[in-house]
Chain A
Amino acid sequence: MAWNDKLPVSYLLFTPKGRINRFTYWSTSVFIWPSFYVLFNLLGWLSPSATWLIYPPLFWALYCTATKRLHDGNRSAHWLWMLFLPIAGPLVIIFLLGFMKGTFQGNRFGPNPDAAPDYFKNPDAEKIPNLKSEERIVNDVTQLNPVLVSKVAAPQTIEELRDIIRTTDKFICIGGGRFSMGGQTASPNALHIDMRKLDKVIAFSPGERTIKVQAGIRWCDIQKHVDAHDLSIKVMQTYANFTVGGSLSVNCHGRYIGLGPVILSVRSLDAILANGDLVHASPTENPDIFFACVGCYNAIAVIAQVELDLEANVAVRRSHVKMRRDTYKQYFFSKVRENKDVVFHNGDIYPPLYRNMRAVIWIRTVEKPTVKTRLMPLAAAYPLERYFIGAFSKSAFGKWRREYLIDPLVFAVKRIHYRNYEAGYDVLELEPESRKQCTYVLQEYFVAVEKFDAFSTLMAEIFQRHKVNVINVSIRHAKADSGSLLAWAKEEVFAFVVWYKQGTADADKGAVAVWTRELIDAALSQGGSYYLPYQPHATAEQFHRAYPRAKQLFALKKKLDPSFKFRNVLWDTYYKAD
């Protein structure tokens, strides 16, 4: 019941997404049919033809509730075609909808509706049918990168983790939330360590505004912990599904103003080296280890514990302005950069012309929030408005409509809520129904702030020439990195986050690789770089140009991890070749 508790009724009745159990299905039916009866009679008294009005909502509600129930049994809505088979079809459907139990575990349509409400998680590594050995298939959120690993371990304590690392004679790869998109969490035949059981808060000091956590904990878990103390995570991504370890390893960033890579909010960390040694590191203590851990994708060590800075959980009010892309830089420097009250900011460039932008800022306010909850309700429970935004951003459905119809409507609504709320998005809202034929993928490029116009023009030209199905390009700002060996912000930069749709066939993947390398070259030509958690299409030469201090990291890896124990797609690609 727990999960359904949070569902608004409109969501239950009018969206086909997610799962519902038998009880909920019967309950909604007990609502739908009498309502139909009532409206049918009331309208019928007005005029018999007025009753036609209720058919569209009725059929849509019947379709949506049936679809959700089918999802519960891991079936798609296509099963409803069965209804066209006389007698047997309706009987089977009635059985499936009203009587058949749902799958116990999460399935491709969402978590078990009886489970406690939670953020979307990537499923555990997949078992291989009929196989006796401990081999598993590890995949990431895109489902594009299945890798066969020899075994999966999920340690529950730091000691257990150290033991596994010290004693194993196999290669090791580390998985956090597994939301990176190019195989960064796996290496063929390696031992895969799933960090998600290491999710404890070790120490929390509201007065000092710090928290110390195990690295497998997720941002959303921390938010639940600190929200009551009116505190907030200082730097994180837009979505709260990620683990702290995974986020530090990519050196993530969010939409914060006056901040930048997450490394700026890390006080210290404890890392486990390939030989099992636990090392405490901070910008001042063992800085060589510290700067080779944060942003460095498990190159030399596994991050076990982290001490993070926290910030006040202020209320923020949304405002926005639409402008031409070539006026954005000027706008940013005059209105946003120095404004101490701006907490979040991003600019969205509208495809397919890439000529206009909408800048969105969230300003600190003392006004009363417009929503009831302090934390964001889960994606599964998003009210209709959120659902439709998700649906529009997910399909390439009329980009023009988005720019001129949907966005103006969405942004017309006054929005005030807490910082924790705005940092609480669930990746589920982006999840398509299926990733079989096509999938949604991210890329990101960074250039120095003054190169904004030059790079964005190059980028637009490449997208248009290759007819890339870009859904959104989001602009964020970051201050320079404090010293990670794989810093993507060598100076103050703008980040270009590209959200696009691609086919899953090999030819499609090949085509993406071609334009991705062109985009990387474009960024490099402006002295910029690209982001590493996504598909590793870059050549070795491009990698080293974007990350000139990678050589230094590799030298350290040779020293600290001489047997090349820590592996993943990055090191299999760029380190091995070195």
Chain B
Amino acid sequence: MKRLYALILASLALAAGIALIQTRSPTTFAVGQGRVLPAEWLQPNPNPATPKADIRPADQTFLTFPEWFLVFSPEEQALAFQNRTSTAFPFMAHVAQFWQSYRIVNDQIKDAFPVNASYHVMICVIGVSTTVEYALKATYEALVGRLTDTGAPITAEDRYNAEYMADYVAFIKDHPWYEFDYSTRFKSLWTSTPLVGGSFMRKMERRYFLTTELIAKLLYAKLIGFGTHQAYDRPLPTTAVVLVKDSLVHLPRYDRFAQAAGTLAARGEAFKEIAGNTSAILLSVLVPAYGPTAFEDSRTLFTQPLASDPTRKRVVLAAPVPFLDRLLVRLGQANLPVEHVFDY
């Protein structure tokens, strides 16, 4: 056993060395150390004009980033799986991006706002479960998936996986993920996906893989859904916005907010309060790999090369609500798609 312990130590040391080398090619690039936003961008709004029921905490724009990352990640997957099987997908890079970006957004708010403990707990829960899921997937794909991989998704099962991912992404933009209908997916995997066809080994292996994924998620979703209904209230479906012209409008919340806000800005409207806040609001923009990373009227927090698409990167920046209209217009003119505006 002594020799085994020596070998264990050696292999752990080497593994740590390799891991260290790998952190030298980071997956998320912070623009500065710690807080990079000016303090005055993080001041609470003393007299909000927004009705009380529509006001949300100002730090939530930052705190919702990790949650949304878990939408961006499947979105990337759905896109990637159209041309490549999931076997080569860089799952672990996404795990790294999740935690690194969480740290950066938290750096911005941790001194300016009281700690929202329950929100952090929630982020950690989804972070850990995603880490576990992705680590299992990455290991399985490296160990078994690779043995049967076909590169392009040529089996009905691999294509089924791409479709399911796309549907899942569409669904979670407006719904909590745990309401996704996994059981119907599972049934149709076994009923409407042809059992025969080329690459038989791959087909069987993917069936095993997808069956495992769908059943595991089905069970986990039941568990989480059950807990969540008890712990949190149903979220509001709209975001209240006070325009400079002093009118109050209700825009759709979440994914469609960016577009609605963009349309208003294009029309020349400026924002005074969003969900009762005047402080900085976070947004993410998809930019070509060598495109600009800094924009007027805003501060960039970090950039993330898309792990599955080296031609693009995500730029995450913040601007005070009163500057948002100008920023949106400028981004529109530069033809840079706004991925998301984190509307608290």
Contact = CB atoms under 8 A, between A and B. Distances in A.
Genuine A/B complex: yes
B18 interface: yes
A9 B11 CA distance: 14
B122 interface: no
Nearest to B8: A31
Interface string A27-42: 1101100110110111
B216 A38 contact: no
A124 interface: no
A34 B215 contact: no
Given A37-B18, A38-B15, A38-B18, A31 B7 contact: yes
Given A40-B142, A87-B215, A87-B216, A9 B4 contact: yes
B232 interface: no
Contacts of B14: 34-35, 38
B215 A31 contact: no
Contacts of A42: 18
B212 A31 contact: no
Interface in B235-254: none
- Dominant secondary structure of chain B at its interface with chain A: helix
A86 B214 CA distance: 10
Interface string B1-12: 101110110011
Contacts of A58: 143
A9 B18 contact: no
Nearest to A8: B3
A348 B4 CA distance: 38
B212 A86 contact: yes
Contacts of A86: 208, 211-212, 215
Contacts of A5: 1
Contacts of A38: 11, 14-15, 18
Contacts of A34: 8, 11-12, 14-15
A87 B12 CA distance: 29
Given A4-B1, A41-B18, A31 B211 contact: no
A386 to B, nearest CB: 17
Interface in B205-237: 208, 211-212, 215-216
A247 B30 CA distance: 79
A12 interface: yes
A90 B215 CA distance: 13
Contacts of B4: 9, 12, 27-28, 31
A90 B11 CA distance: 26
Contact of A9 (B7, B12, B147): B7
B208 A35 contact: no
Nearest to A85: B208
A84 B208 CA distance: 8
A7 interface: yes
Contacts of A7: 1
Interface in A5-63: 5, 7-9, 12, 24, 27-28, 30-31, 34-35, 37-38, 40-42, 55, 58
> Which of B11, B22, B143, B147 gathers the greatest number of chain A CB atoms within 10 Å?
B11
Interface string A368-410: 0000000000000000000000000000000000000000000
B3 A9 contact: yes
Interface in B123-164: 142-143, 147
A1 B18 contact: no
Contacts of B7: 9, 31, 35
Contacts of A1: 1
A87 to B, nearest CB: 5
Interface in B3-45: 3-5, 7-8, 11-12, 14-15, 18, 22
Contacts of B12: 30, 34
Contacts of B18: 37-38, 41-42
A360 B330 CA distance: 91
Nearest to A84: B208
A37 B143 CA distance: 11
A27 B8 contact: yes
Nearest to B3: A9
Contacts of B11: 31, 34-35, 38
A341 B143 CA distance: 57
A179 to B, nearest CB: 31
Nearest to B7: A31
A87 B212 contact: yes
Contacts of B3: 8-9
A559 B208 CA distance: 75
B207 to A, nearest CB: 9
A30 B8 contact: yes
Interface in A60-94: 84, 86-87, 90
A40 B1 CA distance: 25
A297 to B, nearest CB: 44
Nearest to A87: B215
Nearest to B19: A37
> Which of A38, A55, A58, A90 gathers the greatest number of chain B CB atoms within 10 Å?
A38
Contacts of A27: 1, 4-5, 8
Contacts of B208: 84, 86
Interface string A479-508: 000000000000000000000000000000
Contacts of A87: 211-212, 215-216
A522 to B, nearest CB: 51
Contact of A37 (B15, B212, B216): B15
B217 to A, nearest CB: 11
B278 to A, nearest CB: 49
Contacts of A9: 3-4, 7
A342 B1 CA distance: 38
A86 B190 CA distance: 14
A5 B42 CA distance: 62
Contacts of B215: 86-87
Nearest to B140: A90
B13 to A, nearest CB: 9
Nearest to B4: A9
B141 to A, nearest CB: 12
B138 to A, nearest CB: 11
Nearest to A88: B215
A188 to B, nearest CB: 47
A4 B300 CA distance: 58
Contacts of A28: 4
Contacts of A90: 212
B183 to A, nearest CB: 14
A37 B142 CA distance: 10
A24 B4 CA distance: 10
**Nearest 8 A/B pairs, CB to CB:** A34-B15, A34-B11, A86-B212, A35-B11, A86-B211, A38-B14, A31-B8, A41-B18
18 contacts: A9-B4, A9-B7, A24-B1, A28-B4, A30-B12, A31-B4, A31-B7, A34-B15, A35-B11, A35-B15, A38-B18, A40-B142, A41-B18, A41-B22, A42-B18, A86-B211, A87-B216, A90-B212
Given A4-B1, A27-B8, A38-B18, 9 more contacts: A5-B1, A24-B1, A27-B1, A28-B4, A30-B8, A31-B4, A34-B11, A35-B11, A40-B142
